[in-house]
A and B are shown apart, each in its own frame.
Chain A
Amino acid sequence: MNLLLTVTLVLYFIGVVDSILYFAFRRSLFSTIAMGSVGLGFLTHTTVLAIRASQTGHGPYTNLFEYALFFSWAIILVYLAVEGWYRLKPLGPFVVPIGFVILLSALVLPHEITAPLSNNPFWLTLHRTLSLLGFGALAVTFGVGVMYMIQERQLKSHQMGLFYHRLPSLDILDEINSKSVFFGFLLLTTGFVAGSLWSIQKSGSFFSWDPVKTYPLLIAWLIYATLFVGRFNLGWKGKRPAILGVFGFVAGIVLHWIHIS
């Protein structure tokens, strides 16, 4: 499994480098290599997850190592879906590195198998699966948010640099922001409901109001709730959702870290 994990990392690394090379030089060879290696890496990554699940006998999220394994998988999954749908080659350098770095962190985390949680882990598993898939979508929100902010800056300032020619239109970036926030937030929310149900089963209350366990998640959720409502109820477009999408993901990563550790 460790060998496969290393292979996955190497493939993602090639993907990161070549997608950046494509972005800089726009030679189709680079994007072909980038897409090929990320796609192949995703297959080996999936195999790693499957092997791990067969070893532990449950979904891969009982410790930080498994968290990182699954979270990076979710990011690449959503990235490949968006790339396949929109054919947006410049997206690679803004999303693939996130998945790569998170998977890289798995290497240094302890690998030993923790005993599975005994009391009805169904809701807990669902909570973690959905939340992480939601965060995977929000990683793409982050990526297109960064792209939007750069492109918007160029267009507003009238100073056209290299990025102006290489980044796609604001319109498409805003559309992907909208779609990824929609799905990401819904998954995240469903995940939270599942987490609450698990909490009710475990301790009998809806929220345990543990300041370390609950608040971070609530804050991250509130940021995305603001973005969601702003987008779909108040008609926010463009820069504001882009900034919130970037901010929400950074805050989400930090807060999530506090939550799970």
Chain B
Amino acid sequence: MNHNTADVGLRERLHFSPSQIPGALELLQAKYPSVQEKVILSTCNRVEIYASLYDDLEGIHNLKEFFYRFHEIPDGSLENSLYLYELEKAVGHLFRVSSSLDSMLVGEPQILGQVKKAYEVARDHHATGRVLNQLFEKAFSVAKRIRTETGIAENAVSVGYASIELARKIFGTLEGKSIMLIGAGEMIELASRNLLSSGIQTVFVSNRNFARAVELAETLGGNAIRFDNLEYELDRFDIVISSTGAPRPIVKKSIVEKAMQERRNRPMFFIDIAVPRDIEPEVNQIENVYLYDIDDLEKVTESNRREREREGLKAEEIVISEVHRFLSWLDSVEAFPTIAALRDQAEVIRKAELEKTLARWKGLTDEERRSLENLTSSIVNKILHAPTVNLKQQKENNEKFSYLAAIRHLFNLK
């Protein structure tokens, strides 16, 4: 269940808090043995259980039952909000979730850490095994690949991120750059927080009400500048964000031109988020000066959104090819335990029955014993030969899994 299928209220009710998860995993282990391996992922936008099952039908039924019981919700009441994926759909889903392709804000970086945490908790409680270990390790490497090979993480879509990105396209790195905030309101505080968290160390605040400037400067770890000194100090700053209630522009073209001379043409980036605007639009005409008002930032955000969609398509291709790789791995490991279990079981029966018979027939020679031994072995082998070969040759995944399930079911294999 995720943000697309359930509203906040429902997600809250079905949430597993970090302290509940170990208990939930133990409960699954104890009460529902058909669920072989399991990982519970619960974030504010999704609640998901990844599981590898001994028996598909029974396992799915058990999982749902567990879900309802655990949260004390009437059975069957959530059918519209839950989704169920099997095989490649499930694998692809986990890859998409880890790579933040399924997030509300596509490309947001937190989800990978949350998936890792969920997996680690499950692993530490011995709730995972060969299949899920491999699956999650793979999901992490897919997420990493998508992050490095596509621009999905680069193009954050909010206005705050857009200004960081613009600043990076102008200055390269933001390390060591200095920023000036004109105004001391809430808007400017919000807008500057993004930039300040991306490496800028020097921050100055200028405001008509100096006391308020000092106050904001303190919370941001910077200094205050008197409003009247603004034009003389302007050349010290690489980035200027302005958001005041002034009715007319306060940063004039002539001031910026003078500052640029002082700076020996080093670029300046002005962000004007005030309406009406604080910075004369003509400032943008000055060489090496870049001025963005709130509408311009919106346009950049829109372009980021489009770019991200293109990157999303590329990421999707990576997901699909990685899903195929994982399934062929699964393919190679999955058939053998079942075959081995089937053969083991036959061998146990054969031995037990042979012993019973031999115990009753006392007067047999060694040679006769050996030929009885050979006879039973060859009967078992002949009978099991065809199913073994057919299982190994089965290429279609869906069919193969239903075969495997059928065999486990028919022969009571665990």
Measured between beta carbons, the chain B residues less than 8 angstroms from A235 are 264-265
Residues of A within 8 A of B300 (CB): 158, 160
**Contacts A151-B169, A165-B307, A169-B171 given: A240-B149 contact, CB under 8 Å?**
no
Q: Is B160 an interface residue (CB 8 A)?
A: no
Least CB distance from A86 to B in Å reads 11
Q: Judging by beta carbons under 8 Å apart, are B290 and A28 in contact?
A: no
What distance in Å separates the Cβ of A89 from its nearest Cβ neighbour in chain B?
Answer: 12
Q: Does B284 contact A (CB under 8 A)?
A: yes
Contacts A155-B290, A160-B299 given; does A237 touch B266 at CB 8 Å:
yes
List residues of chain B with CB within 8 A of the CB of A151. Answer: 169
Residues of A within 8 A of B148 (CB): 28
B329 smallest CB distance to A (angstroms): 22
Q: Is B242 an interface residue (CB 8 A)?
A: no
User: Which chain B residues border A168 with CB–CB below 8 Å?
Assistant: 172
Is there contact, CB below 8 Å, between B265 and A236? yes
Residue among A27, A158, A167, A239 facing the most chain B CB atoms (10 A cut-off): A158
Contact (Cβ within 8 A) B149 A237: no
User: Which residues does chain B contribute within 8 Å of A158, judged by CB atoms?
Assistant: 292, 296, 299-300
A25 within 8 A of B: yes
Check: B252 CB closer than 8 A to any chain A CB: no
Bound form: Cα–Cα A236–B172 in Å: 18
Selected contact of B151 from candidates A26, A28, A161, A170, CB within 8 Å: A26
Interface residues of B in 259-290 (CB under 8 A from A): 264-267, 284, 287-288, 290
Q: Is B170 an interface residue (CB 8 A)?
A: yes
Given contacts A151-B169, A171-B172, contact A238 B287 (CB under 8 A): yes
> Whole-angstrom distance from the CB of A150 to the nearest CB of chain B?
12
**A159-201 CB contact bits vs B (8 Å, 1 = yes)?**
1111011011111100000000000000000000000000000
Among residues 293 to 317 in chain B, which have CB atoms less than 8 Å away from a CB atom of chain A? 296, 299-300, 303-304, 307, 314
User: Which residue of A has the minimal Cβ distance to B302?
Assistant: A160
Q: Contact between A171 and B170 (Cβ–Cβ < 8 Å)?
A: yes
Given contacts A235-B265, A237-B288, contact A164 B299 (CB under 8 A): no
Using an 8 Å CB-CB cutoff, how does the interface string of B148-160 with A read, 1 for contact, 0 for none? 1111001100000
Residues on A with beta carbons closer than 8 Å to the beta carbon of B299: 158-160
| B window 128-155: CB within 8 A of A | 148-151, 154-155
B168: CB under 8 A from chain A? yes
Cα(A178)–Cα(B292), bound, Å = 27
Report the bound CA distance from A28 to B148 in whole Å. Answer: 9
> Hey, which chain B residues are within 8 Å of A165, CB to CB?
151, 154-155, 303, 307
Assembled-state Cα–Cα distance A167/B155 (Å):
14
| Contact in complex: A169, B169 (CB < 8 Å) | yes
Does A156 reach chain B (CB closer than 8 Å)? yes
Which of B149, B171, B287, B307 is A171 in contact with, Cβ under 8 Å?
B171
Q: How far is the CB of B408 from chain A (nearest CB, A)?
A: 42
Give Cα distance in the complex from A158 to B271, angstroms: 12
Residues B265 and A155 in contact, CB atoms below 8 Å apart: no
Check: B200 CB closer than 8 A to any chain A CB: no
Query: How far apart sit A161 and B290, CA to CA, in the bound complex (Å)?
Result: 17
Contact A156 B284 (CB under 8 A): yes
Cβ–Cβ contact A237 & B264, under 8 A? yes
Pick the contact of A172 from B172, B296, B307 — CB < 8 Å?
A: B172
Please, which residues of chain A bring their CB within 8 A of the CB of B168? 169
**B166 part of interface (Cβ distance < 8 Å):** yes
- Give the CA-CA distance A213 to B51 in the complex, in Å: 80
Q: How far is the CA of A172 from the CA of B296 in the complex (A)?
A: 24
Q: How far apart are the CA atoms of A27 and B304 in the complex, in Å?
A: 18
Known contacts A155-B170, A164-B303, A170 near B150 by CB under 8 Å: no
| Chain A to chain B: the 9 pairs with minimum beta-carbon distance, closest first | A171-B172, A160-B303, A235-B264, A169-B172, A237-B265, A158-B296, A238-B288, A165-B307, A169-B169
A sample of 16 cross-chain residue pairs with beta-carbon separation below 8 angstroms, ordered by A number, consists of A28-B148, A151-B169, A155-B169, A156-B290, A158-B299, A160-B299, A161-B303, A165-B154, A165-B307, A169-B168, A170-B169, A171-B172, A236-B265, A238-B265, A238-B288, A239-B288
Given contacts A156-B290, A165-B307, A169-B171, 6 further A-B contacts (CB under 8 A): A28-B149, A160-B299, A164-B169, A165-B155, A170-B169, A237-B288
Interface residues, chain B, with chain A CB atoms under 8 Å away: 148-151, 154-155, 166, 168-173, 264-267, 284, 287-288, 290, 292, 296, 299-300, 303-304, 307, 314
